[in-house]
Amino acid sequence: MSTVTKASDASASGRRIATMIGFSAVLMWALLAVLTASSGTLPPFQLTAITFAIGGALGALRWISHPEARRALRAPWQVWALGIGGLFGYHFLYFTALRNSPPIDASLIAYLWPLLIVVFSALLPGERLKAHHVIGALMGLAGAALIVTRGQLILPRAEYVFGYLAALGCAFTWSIYSLLSRRLADVPTDTVTGFCLATAVLSAVAHLALETTVWPTEVSQWLAIIGLGLMPVGLAFYTWDYGVKRGDIQILGASAYASPLLSTIVLIIAGHAELSLAIVGAALMITLGAVLAARDLLFPSQKK
C-alpha cells in the first residue's frame, strides 16, 4: 500500500471518528427535555445561566491537567463573537420565540437548523453537497415535524409573526455558528469553555432583567440541573465543536434530527409522554433519512 493511500485511509478514519464524536452531542441533547422537566420551575434564563456555568466549569477542569488549554482564551474577537453569538444568541432567540408564539410552532421552525447546515455546507471549501444529503435531511425534518405536531396540522397565525421570526433566527444562528466553526477548524475546542462561561454571565444578566428568581426545592431537581450542565448544556457543545470541525458536517446535520426522536423516546420511558403512530412514523422517517444522508460513511465502497 502506498504512502498516499495510507494517509488517505487515516484521514478517512479520523473523519469518521470525529463524526461519531460530534454525534454524541445529538445523543446528549436527547436528554435535554427530560432533565429540564425534572429540574423544577426555574425561569429559562436562570436555568441557562446555572447550567452553562457548570458546562464552563467542566471545560475549565482541563486547565488543571493541560495548563496550555487556557491559551485558547486568547482567540481573536471574531472567534469570541461567533461562539457567544452562537450559544447565547440561540438560547435568547429561542426563549423569545417561546414567549411570543406557541411552543409547537416555535420548536418546529427552530428545527430547521439541521437542514440549513446540510444545504449551506455546499458553500464550505472541500465540501460537496449531494442529492442524498438533502433528501435525507428533508426526511429528518418531516419526521421532526411529526414529533413536534403529533401529526396535527399547524397553521401559522399573524399575531405570532414576531415569535416565528425569532424561531427562524434560532435556526439560522445555530446553523451559521456550526458552519463558521468548520471554517475555523484551526481554533481549538478549548475555546468553548470561554463561550460557555460568557453565555452563563449574559444569561444571568438577562435573568435579573427579565425574570423572577426561583430556586429548586428538591435534591432531585438539583441533580437534574447538574445533569443538564454536565451533558446537554456542557459536554455536548465540546463534542459538537470537535465534530463539525473535523467530521462530516453534512451527516451531522442530517443525523441531528435523531435528537427530537430520542428525546421523545426518553420522555416516554420516563412517563412524560405516550407512544403514538405519529412517533412510530417519525422514527422510520428520521432513521431512513439519517441512513440515506450517511450513505457514503456507512457504505464507503459506493463513494465515487
Q: Which has the closest alpha carbon to 120: 164, 74, 175?
A: 175
- Which residues neighbour 202 within 8 Å (Cβ) at sequence distance 6 or greater? 84, 88
Contact 21/302 with Cβ under 8 angstroms? no
pLDDT band at 281 (very low <50, low <70, confident <90, very high): confident
The rounded mean pLDDT for the chain is 88
75: which DSSP letter?
A: -
Residue 74 burial class via C-beta count within 10 angstroms: exposed 0-12, middle 13-18, buried 19 and up: exposed
More confident residue, 109 or 296: 109
Residue type, 241: D
- Classify residue 264 as exposed, middle or buried by CB count within 10 Å of its CB (0-12, 13-18, 19+): buried
> Mind listing the pLDDT tens digit for each residue in 5-26?
545 555 778 889 999 999 999 9
Render pLDDT for 39-63 as a digit per residue (tens, 0 to 9).
Answer: 999 999 999 999 999 999 999 999 8
Banded model confidence at residue 148, pLDDT cuts 50, 70, 90 = confident
